[in-house]
Amino acid sequence: EDPERLARFEARVAAEDKIEPNDWMPEAYRRTLTRQISQHAHSEIVGMLPEGNWITRAPSLRRKAALLAKVQDEGGHGLYLYAAAETLGTSREALVEQLLSGRAKYSSIFNYPTLTWADIGAIGWLVDGAAIMNQIPLCRTSYGPYARAMVRVCKEESFHQRQGYEIMLTLARGTAEQKAMAQDALDRWWWPALMMFGPPDGESAHTDQSMRWKIKRFTNDALRQQFVDATVPQGHFLQLTFPDPELRFDEASGHWQYGAIDWEEFRQVLAGNGPCNRERLEARRKAHAEGAWVREAALAHAAKRRARRAA
Ligand code: FAQ
Distance 72 CA to ligand 1 centre (A): 21
- For the chain, 311 residues long, give each residue's pLDDT as a single digit of tens: 789 999 999 999 999 999 999 999 999 999 999 999 999 999 999 999 999 999 999 999 999 999 999 999 999 999 999 999 999 999 999 999 999 999 999 999 999 999 999 999 999 999 999 999 999 999 999 999 999 999 999 999 999 999 999 999 999 999 999 999 999 999 999 999 999 999 999 999 999 999 999 999 999 999 999 999 999 999 999 999 999 999 999 999 999 999 999 999 999 999 999 999 999 999 999 999 999 999 999 999 999 999 999 98
Distance 107 CA to ligand 1 centre (A): 6
Structural contact between residues 130 and 193, judged by C-beta atoms closer than 8 angstroms: yes
Q: Say how many Å lie between the first and final Cα of the chain, rounded.
A: 46
Residue 105 beta carbon below 6 angstroms from any ligand 1 atom: yes
The residue whose CA has the least distance to atom 21 of ligand 1 is 198
Q: What is the pTM of this model?
A: 0.96
> What is the value of ipTM here, to two decimals?
0.98
Residue 108 beta carbon below 6 angstroms from any ligand 1 atom: yes
**Sign for the pseudo-dihedral over CA of 251, 190, 146, 216:** positive
Q: In the chain, which ranges are E strands?
A: 248-250, 255-257
Residue 198 beta carbon below 6 angstroms from any ligand 1 atom: yes
Structural contact between residues 126 and 190, judged by C-beta atoms closer than 8 angstroms: yes
Say which DSSP state 143 is in.
B
Distances (CA, A) of 219 to 158, 206, 222, 301: 22, 10, 5, 47
